[in-house]
């Protein structure tokens, strides 16, 4: 403890000098030293501050970017210096080596250049820490030691990608599918496909970017493109397989039935084949099924035939077998076409098609050859009918009656079959020898009114022969007026009008045996005869024809008509008077003593006024009015 001395009166003791002095010099020295340091630091700080202020907004001394000394330069001057020093970085190009040669991408095109902004920012920040004290110290250090900064280069990635895309656009190739076409001559032509190629743009961009981003990239940079191969959807192998399948399908196709064959030629099949891509990227031959229809129709023409009965002929008084019977055939077109399509599809798949047999519906003739051989020795004439006619202009001088009789001669009607006059006779033409003849038109006889006029004598005669053979009679119609050469109420007219209406005569053979019709033509001077005989195995039938029942008789009158077209005193009959009447005839058919059927035929005959032409000779006066005969 320090004691404080107490003062004494009148005696002032001298203080102890040693200790107190020592205690006061220490603080003073410390204070003086501190003040000296403060003065020195203050002077240095001021100098540093003045130094820093000198380079405010400028690059500090000692800062260098690459070979460019930017000491003390303003930003504009530093920017200009850097731009001048590294302008060459924008010069140069990338050589892209592709499959078709080299392509160039200029450095300027992709925005390659010195990164002046980044270098300037780095230079301005060199030696500065952002703290006042640190910046005071850092600035002199930068000047004493120097700061070297690495030059920077930049490029535009978007422009590089665009440039690479442009290069790829000139190199890329779309793949081309192989094609198959059918030439006009039916030949198949294959055009091979081609692989496509695509530049791997990502790889090329990455390779160029790695190089051009470096300061020491050469003025000419070489890069090889990386290509990706794209195969076509339809390649050569697919097309060749389809071609082979098409050729197999187009080979001629043979249909066989028994000893008969029908060939669909290769040239016809080729027209129906095309080639089409599939959903899974292949190609196949496609066949036009509907196009087979005319080809199948052509085969059907050859296959189809009506069943033909065995025929009979007379050898003396005996019936013998004539031509053999033939089966009826009808090609099932749809079923046969389906078999052909199956065969073609089998060919397409590479397998051998089975033998193709056309689908044919077969019908046996009503009279087979065996039947004819069995029946012929037992056949006899079971009925006959003959009709007389005058040979004159009204019947084509007999031709119009004898020609159809000759055509019907030898006609065979099998069991259950129906005879139809017009089907048996066929078309009536002049080429067959028919002539103009008489016809009843509007109730009057026209001597030259129709081709084959008078043919009704033939139909009426056959009607009566078949009726008396016990056949089941069908279509029948009486004449407009009664002709006395025919059995009363049992005549049968036939005609085909210009308007298309038709009247025929028909009957059905409802026996168990075939019927042979024999037509016989006879001439005796100016008289002609037509006879039909029916031959068959005697069937035990008996036909009873009742006497005619005649009612409503209307007497026909005669008339005289004068004409200057005939010599005076001469005459010509152009119409005979005919009584009108209604007639019924009942026909009963018995078999084995039992009534099989009974039919009554009704005939309504018109009244006809006769016309006798009387000549008045020449002169120019008109014909006198006809005078009715008494």
Q: Are 307 and 326 in contact (CB under 8 A)?
A: yes
Q: Give the separation between CA 397 and CA 454, rounded to whole angstroms.
A: 9
Confidence of residue 449 (pLDDT cuts 50, 70, 90): low
Same domain, 469 and 573: yes
Mean pLDDT in residue range 136-141: 62
Same domain, 119 and 72: yes
Final residue belonging to a domain, choices 342, 370, 398 = 370
Q: Is residue 18 part of a domain?
A: no
pLDDT at 10: 47
Same domain, 346 and 430: no
Same domain, 350 and 391: no
Evaluate if residue 597 carries a pLDDT over 90.
yes
Confidence of residue 22 (pLDDT cuts 50, 70, 90): very low
User: Among 133, 136, 166, 132, which Cα is nearest to 48's?
Assistant: 136
Mean pLDDT in residue range 468-494: 97
Q: Give the separation between CA 486 and CA 386, rounded to whole angstroms.
A: 10
Mean pLDDT in residue range 463-486: 97
Lowest mean pLDDT among 126-135, 241-250, 358-367: 126-135
Same domain, 270 and 397: no
Confidence of residue 134 (pLDDT cuts 50, 70, 90): low
Q: Give the separation between CA 236 and CA 205, rounded to whole angstroms.
A: 34
Evaluate if residue 6 carries a pLDDT over 50.
no
**Of the ranges 365-369, 505-509, 570-574, the best mean pLDDT one:** 505-509
Q: Are 464 and 385 in contact (CB under 8 A)?
A: yes
Same domain, 335 and 268: yes
Q: Give the separation between CA 600 and CA 549, rounded to whole angstroms.
A: 10
Q: Is residue 19 part of a domain?
A: no
pLDDT at 234: 87
Q: Give the separation between CA 465 and CA 467, rounded to whole angstroms.
A: 5
- How many alpha carbons fall within 13 Å on the CB side of residue 201? 16
With tokens 């009942």, the residue in question is 586
pLDDT at 626: 45
Q: Give the separation between CA 215 and CA 30, rounded to whole angstroms.
A: 59
Q: What is the b/e burial string over 235-270, where b = at least 16 CB atoms within 10 angstroms of the residue's CB?
A: beebbeebbebbebbbeebebebeeeebebeeebbb
Q: Greater confidence, 446 or 235?
A: 235
Mean pLDDT in residue range 70-82: 92
* Alpha carbon 395 to chain centroid, angstroms: 59
Q: What is the b/e burial string over 486-510, where b = at least 16 CB atoms within 10 angstroms of the residue's CB?
A: bbbbbbbbbbbeeeeeebbbbbbbb
Same domain, 279 and 414: no
Q: Give the separation between CA 308 and CA 410, rounded to whole angstroms.
A: 13
Evaluate if residue 390 carries a pLDDT over 80.
yes
Same domain, 296 and 442: no
pLDDT at 438: 76
Give the range of the structural domain holding residue 282, as residue numbers without chain letter: 236-370
Quick check: helix, strand or coil at residue 337? Answer: helix
Evaluate if residue 624 carries a pLDDT over 50.
no
User: Among 455, 468, 460, 519, which Cα is nearest to 487's?
Assistant: 460
Mean pLDDT in residue range 250-264: 93
Quick: pLDDT tens for 174-207.
999 888 898 888 899 989 888 999 999 999 999 9
Q: In the predicted model, what is the mean pLDDT of the chain?
A: 87
Same domain, 438 and 556: yes
Q: Is residue 22 part of a domain?
A: no
Q: Is residue 498 part of a domain?
A: yes
Beta pairing class for 273-277 and 283-287? antiparallel
pLDDT at 500: 82
pLDDT at 13: 46
**Count: domains in the chain:** 3
pLDDT at 62: 87
Evaluate if residue 138 carries a pLDDT over 70.
no
């Amino acid at each position: 403890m320090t004691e404080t001395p107490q003062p004494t009166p009148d005696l002032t003791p001298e203080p102890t000098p040693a200790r107190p002095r020592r205690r006061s010099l220490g603080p003073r020295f410390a204070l003086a030293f501190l003040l000296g340091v403060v003065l020195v630091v203050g002077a240095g700080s001021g100098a540093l501050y003045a130094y820093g202020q000198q380079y405010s907004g400028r690059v500090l001394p000692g800062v260098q970017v690459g070979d460019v000394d930017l000491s003390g330069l303003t930003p504009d001057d530093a920017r200009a210096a850097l731009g001048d020093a590294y302008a060459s970085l924008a010069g140069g190009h990338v050589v892209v080596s592709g499959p078709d040669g080299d392509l160039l991408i200029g450095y300027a095109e992709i925005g390659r250049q010195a990164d002046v902004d980044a270098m300037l920012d780095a230079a301005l920040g060199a030696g500065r820490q952002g703290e006042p004290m640190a910046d005071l110290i850092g600035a002199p250090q930068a000047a004493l030691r120097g700061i070297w900064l690495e030059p920077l280069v930049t490029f535009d990635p978007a422009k590089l990608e665009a440039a690479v895309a442009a290069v790829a656009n000139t190199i890329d190739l779309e793949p081309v599918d192989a094609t198959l076409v059918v030439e006009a001559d039916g030949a198949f032509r294959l055009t091979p496909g081609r692989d496509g190629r695509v530049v791997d743009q990502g790889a090329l961009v990455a390779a160029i970017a790695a190089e051009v981003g470096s300061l020491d990239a050469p003025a000419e940079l070489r890069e090889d493109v990386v290509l990706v191969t794209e195969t076509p959807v339809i390649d050569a192998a697919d097309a060749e397989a389809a071609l082979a399948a098409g050729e197999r399908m187009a080979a001629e196709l043979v249909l066989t039935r028994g000893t008969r064959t029908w060939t669909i030629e290769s040239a016809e099949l080729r027209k129906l084949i095309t080639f089409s891509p599939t959903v899974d990227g292949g190609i196949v031959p496609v066949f036009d099924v509907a196009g087979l229809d005319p080809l199948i129709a052509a085969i059907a023409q050859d296959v189809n035939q009506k069943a033909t009965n065995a025929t009979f002929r007379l050898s003396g008084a005996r019936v013998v077998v004539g031509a053999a019977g033939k089966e009826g055939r009808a090609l099932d077109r749809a079923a046969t076409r389906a078999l052909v399509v199956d065969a073609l599809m089998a060919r397409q798949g590479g397998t051998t098609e089975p033998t193709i047999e056309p689908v044919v519906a077969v019908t046996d003739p009503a009279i087979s050859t065996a039947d004819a051989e069995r029946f012929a020795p037992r056949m006899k004439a079971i009925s006959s009918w003959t009709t007389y006619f005058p040979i004159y202009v009204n019947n084509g001088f007999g031709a119009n009656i004898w020609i159809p009789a000759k055509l019907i001669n030898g006609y065979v009607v099998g069991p259950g079959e129906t005879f139809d006059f017009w089907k048996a006779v066929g078309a009536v033409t002049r080429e067959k020898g028919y002539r103009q003849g008489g016809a009843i038109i509007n109730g009057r006889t026209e001597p030259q009114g129709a081709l084959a006029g008078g043919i009704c004598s033939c139909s009426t005669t056959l009607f009566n022969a078949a009726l008396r053979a016990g056949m089941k009679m069908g279509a029948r119609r009486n004449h407009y007026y009664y002709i006395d050469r025919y059995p009363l109420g049992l005549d049968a007219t036939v005609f085909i009008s210009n308007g298309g209406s038709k009247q025929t005569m028909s009957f059905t053979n409802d026996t168990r045996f075939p019927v042979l019709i024999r037509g016989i033509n006879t001439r005796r001077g100016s008289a002609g005869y037509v006879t039909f005989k029916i031959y068959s195995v005697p069937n035990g039938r008996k036909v009873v024809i009742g006497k005619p029942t005649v009612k409503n008789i209307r007497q026909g009158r005669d008339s005289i008509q004068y004409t200057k077209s005939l010599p005076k005193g001469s005459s010509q009959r152009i119409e005979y008077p005919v009584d009108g009447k209604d007639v019924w005839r009942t026909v009963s058919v018995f078999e084995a003593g039992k009534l099989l059927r009974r039919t009554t035929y009704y005939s309504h005959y018109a009244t006809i006024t006769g016309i006798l032409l009387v000549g008045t000779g020449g002169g120019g006066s008109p014909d006198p009015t006809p005078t009715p005969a008494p």
